[in-house]
Every structure is written in structure tokens, then in C-alpha cells.
Amino acid sequence: MNLSLNVPTPLEYFASLVHTDADFVLLEAAVSLAQDEYPDLSVGQVLGEMDQLLARLQRRLPADAGPLQRLRALNQFVYRDLNFSGNFNHFSDPDNSFIHVVLRTRLAIPISLAVIWLELAQGLGLKARGISFPGHFMVKVNLSEGQVVIDPLTGQ
């Protein structure tokens, strides 16, 4: 019996994640992009780091926290406690696009920060999604009070 396992290339793996909009796994797809540049990257390890961040954030909130309270706690956690921000001095650095690097340096471009922010927001049960603006990428949260548009570089 001959067993042959074909390990997908980074591009094949990414393509398998984004081939359909149904059950689209944004974080995993974004993390997998780095495998072309960082072939030894463990996607599972990065997903685990995000799970740990979400667990830390969830422990800070009372069980009955409303959406606005969850949104405020999320922004406090991401922008003040963890110090995520835009990499204004080296905006075109390719590492700004790689989630595993962004988790280490806390510096990124809008879309990379948005991916991290959206993953945490969805983990808190917030109805959030990315929106494209001319020359920029933002995130939007639907609350009972209305919609909030946030710049992922600053949290404002």
C-alpha cells in the first residue's frame, strides 16, 4: 500500500479558505497569507494567540455587558492596553500585513488591524464588519443606538 500525502502550497491553502463566501474564515485566511514569506509559520499557533487575547478580553466583561459596553472594552483593550496602532513611520513595510508580526510588534496598516479588531469584536458578539473608504479601510459596528464607524489605526 502506497500512501502519498500532498501538502498544499501556501497559495493552495489560501485558495481553499477563500473559495466561497459561506463560512469565510477571515482571520485564518489573513494569517495564511504570511506563509509564502514565512514558510515555517504555524497558522494554528497564531489562531491560538488570538483565542488567548479574546479570552483575556472576555474575562474583563460582566456576563450581562451590553453591546456599547463591549465595544468600549474592546477599544480600551486593543488601543490602550495592548497599544496597537498604525505603523506610520514604516507604512509600506510588508510585515504590516502579516498578522503574526502585527501581534508581536503591535504596528500595522488599517486592514491588518481591522482583521484583528473584527475577530475580537465578533468573539464578543458584536455585529461588526469591514468597510472600504477611499484610500482607507474602516470597521463598522451595528448597535441598538445606531451604527459606529471606527478607524482601525486609532480606534476613534
pTM: predicted TM-score of the whole model, two decimal places: 0.87
133 strand-pairing partners? 136
Given a cut of 70, whether residue 123 has pLDDT beyond it is yes
Domain ranges of the chain: 10-150
pLDDT value of position 2? 66
pLDDT value of position 12? 64
CATH code of the domain occupying 10-150? 3.10.620
Instruction: State what percent of residues in the chain have pLDDT above 90.
Output: 75
What is each CA distance from 42 to 10, 86, 138, in whole angstroms? Answer: 12, 25, 28
**Which residue is it, cell 459596553?**
69
Q: How far apart are CA 120 and CA 53, in angstroms?
A: 8
Residue 10: pLDDT band with limits 50, 70, 90: low
Residue range 11-55, pLDDT digits in tens: 666 566 556 666 668 898 899 889 889 999 999 999 999 999 999
Instruction: State what percent of residues in the chain have pLDDT above 70.
Output: 86
Strands in the chain per DSSP E: 85-86, 107-108, 127-133, 136-143, 146-150
Look at the alpha carbons of 95, 101, 102, 105 in this order and tell me if their dihedral is positive or negative.
negative
Pairing label, strands 136-143, 127-133? antiparallel
The whole-number average pLDDT for the span 114-120 is: 97
